[in-house]
Structure 1
C-alpha cells in the first residue's frame, strides 16, 4: 500500500509540475477531497484546483522542486521548494497527503517563506521563552 500510494502522488505531481495541467492533478483527487492549511482554513476540490491553477498553471511561472517524497501506509509526505516568478519570494512547503481508494483524499499544507526561516527558527530559543 505504501509504495502504491507514493506512486499515485508521484504521478499526480509529475503531471502538474511538468505541464502545469491542473486537469491531470484533478484526475488523482477524490470527489470529496479537502485541502487544509495551518491557519485552519479548508478548501474543497474545486477551490483548491483553482488556487493551484493560479499558482502553477502554464502561464503562472512558479517553479517547484521536490526535495523529499516519503510514504507510510495511507499518508505521503512531500517536501518541496517553490520559487515564485519575477524574483518573487521563495518558499519551502511540506504537504501531507492522505490516499484512500487509489485517490488523494486530503492534503495538509505547511508553508514557510525562506526569507523568514531565521525568525521562525528562533521562537523556541530559551531567551524567548
Structure 2
C-alpha cells in the first residue's frame, strides 16, 4: 500500500503544481478533504481555488522533490519550491493521508530558505553516502532508533543519547546547527538550559527504509502557541547520520478548525 500511495501522491503533486492540471483533484482527492494548512479551508473546491490563485501569483513556479517517505496511509514529500526566479525559495514538507485510492487529509510545514547556514549545508541535499536509499533498510528498525533518541531527549533531557543513537560523520541541515554529534549534544543542552519548559508533542512518525520523519509541536512553555515542526532523520547501521527539519510558527488565526496537527 505504501508504494502505491507514494506513486499516487507524487503523480498528483506533479500534475497539480508543475502542470496546473486541476482534473487530478476530481480524480485523486476525496470529497471530505481535511485541510491543516492554516491558509486554506477544507474541501476540494477550496483546494482548486488555492492552487489556481497560487499558480497565478507564481507563474514561474519551480520545485524539486528531494525525498518521498511513505508508511501505511501516509506519504510525505520534502521539497524545495521557488516561486520567484532569483530568490532562495522555501523548504516545504507536505503530508498526505490516502484512503481507498483518494487523498483525504493534508498537513504541511513551510519555511523560508535562508541566505546561508552555519554548517554550509543546504536544506535539501543528501550528504551521507550513498546518495540513494538502501533497498534492504528496515523502516521499523530505523523508527526504533529515532523513537529511542526522542524519548531520551524529550522525557529525560538526556543529551548523551546522541552518543548511543547517532554517529559521525553526522550532517545537520538545520541552518543554525553545525555538523557532528558533539554539536547536536551542545545544541540540545543549550536549548534545555535556555528553555526549561520546552515542550515537544509528537503527533505522527513516518518511517520508510533509512528515513524517519517526525511531525511534532514545539512550544517554549504551555502558554506558547508554538510551531509546527517536521524532523527528518537518516539511519544507517543502527545510527542516525543525517538530519533535516522544517519549522513554521502556528498563526493566531486559521482558515479551518483543524489545527496544523
- Range into which the TM-score falls when normalised by the shorter chain: 0.7 to 0.9
* SS of alignment partner, residue 63 of structure 1: coil
Whether the aligned pair in 1 keeps the contact of 2:177 and 2:187 (CA below 8 Å) is no
Structure 1 match to 2:219? 83
TM-score, L = length of structure 1: 0.78
Q: Unaligned regions of 5+ residues in structure 1, if any?
A: 119-129
Does the residue aligned with 2:221 lie in a helix, a strand or coil?
A: coil
The question of 1:29 aligning with 2:29 is answered no
SS in 1 for 2:183: helix
Which position in structure 2 is the counterpart of 1:60?
Answer: 196
Q: Does the 8 Å CA contact 1:55/1:61 hold for their aligned counterparts? A: no
> Any idea what SS the aligned residue of 1:53 has?
helix
Change (3 A) 1:11 1:43: same
Aligned 8 A contact 2:170 2:241 in 1: yes
Q: CA RMSD in A?
A: 2.4
Q: Which has the larger radius of gyration?
A: 2
Q: Is the 8 A contact 1:71 1:77 kept in 2?
A: yes
Q: For CA contacts below 8 A with separation 6 or more, give which structure has more relative contact order.
A: 1
Following superposition of structure 1 onto structure 2, how do residues 42-121 of structure 1 map, counting pairs within 5 Å? 43-44=178-179, 45-56=181-192, 60-85=196-221, 87-88=223-224, 90-115=226-251
Distance apart, 1:58 and its partner CA: 9.8
1:32 and 1:11 map into 2 onto residues whose CA distance is 20
Cα distance in 1 for partners of 2:193, 2:165 equals 17
Residue of structure 2 equivalent to 1:5: 142
Task: Give, in whole Å, the separation in 2 of the partners of 1:4 and 1:28.
Answer: 12
**Contact preservation (8 Å) 1:20, 1:58:** no
Of Structure 1 and Structure 2, the greater helix share is in: 1
- Which is strand-richer, 1 or 2? 1
Provide TM-score, normalisation by structure 2: 0.41
